[in-house]
Amino acid sequence: MNFYDLSIIATLSSTFVVMCVYFFLFSLYRQTYIGLWTVFWLIHLTSQIFYHIPLHQIGLSLLIGVQLTLVINYILFVFATSKFLGHKMHKYWYCWTIGLIIFTGIAYSIEAPFLLKVLPSCVFVAYIYFWHAWMFIHHLDTQGWGKYIISLAFIGTGLHSLDMPFLIHVSWFVPWGFIISGSLRFILALGILILYMERNFRDLALKEKQYRLLAENAADTIYLYNLQPPRGIDYVSPSITKLTGYNTNDYSESTDLLFSLIHPSDTFLIEKLVSDPVAASSNPFVMRLIRRDHVLIWVEQTTVPILVD
């Protein structure tokens, strides 16, 4: 196996990795645009089986078919990304695609020079990659490095698409071109994974903030008690102050404060809950608490066990 064959394997492997990353994300999120991205890379991977065939050995009809399929596939790519960013796909994309297909057909039918046959398509593809880089940087509302890594890969791939018509006949550069292409796709796959990790962390932080805001403004008192050693209250909502007279800091400093407020005749309810939280939490129970000002109050507790493996 020579260097040329290894370079083809490298670019095929990288395309396969990108496709697997998108397929993995689609299996998690089931979003239409991720499915379309996966289809794009699958078609792109399929077209690369012709890489090992010298260009002059590919039949004219097959060459035209592959080129037109890739052009349409890139429009699918743009459509998926527009959907992802929440933008409507502009009509000029369709006009450009139709014009490019007509121009390419004419160029092949009149046996125009090779550069005239492939350069418009390469410019079209490069522009799509540059457009993706611009859209990810300026229109993706996500903080972090993911979108910049993706944009860098898109810019590099766009530039590499532009050099193809001029360097494809330079025998020593062709394998390096495959390696460059493969490396950029590995960077793209890494950027996509980082981007979705950042989005997940951001969404989790936002949801945690929303849940905490809800808990801290609820009329009912919400608390989280850890039964695993060391036992104690991990969280209690501010409404506990109005209920018992003790503030949240008091409960953080004393792990037994809450249980010490329970009326002696009702402590068996909590003991039963602690010994078997799943069974005891099936129904709410009513018990008495002794406030800080020694006033006796009745409270109803609903328990939701959170089991940790």
Distance, CA of 293 to CA of 193 (rounded, Å): 56
Q: Within 13 Å and on the Cβ side, how many CA atoms surround 268?
A: 1
**Which three-class secondary structure state does DSSP give residue 300?**
strand
Q: Quick one: tokens of 22? A: 């998108």
Residue 117: how many CB atoms within 10 A of its CB?
20
Q: What is the pLDDT along the chain (309 residues), one digit of tens a residue?
A: 688 778 888 888 999 999 999 999 999 889 999 999 999 999 988 887 765 555 555 565 666 777 788 888 999 999 999 999 888 888 889 899 899 888 888 888 888 888 888 899 899 999 999 999 999 999 887 788 999 999 999 999 999 999 988 888 888 888 898 899 999 999 999 999 998 888 888 777 777 777 777 666 667 888 888 888 777 888 888 888 888 899 888 888 887 888 889 999 998 888 888 888 888 778 888 999 999 999 999 998 888 888 776
DSSP per position, 125-188: HHHHHHHHHHHHHHH----SSHHHHHHHHHHHHHHHHHHHHHHTT-TTTHHHHHHHHHHHHHHH
Q: Which two tokens mark 234?
A: 């991990």
How far is Cα 93 from Cα 113, in angstroms, rounded to an integer?
Answer: 26
Phi, psi of 297 (to 5 degrees): -130, 155
What separation in angstroms does the CA of 222 have from each of 125, 209, 233? Answer: 56, 15, 11
- Record the tokens describing residue 134, joined without a space: 């611009």
Contact assessment for residue 268 and residue 246, using Cβ atoms and an 8 Å cutoff: no
pTM value? 0.70
Burial of 54 (0-12, 13-18, 19+ CB in 10 A): exposed
Match 């910049």 to its residue by tokens.
Answer: 148
Distance CA 157, CA 167 (A): 15
Task: Report the SS3 class of residue 66.
Answer: helix
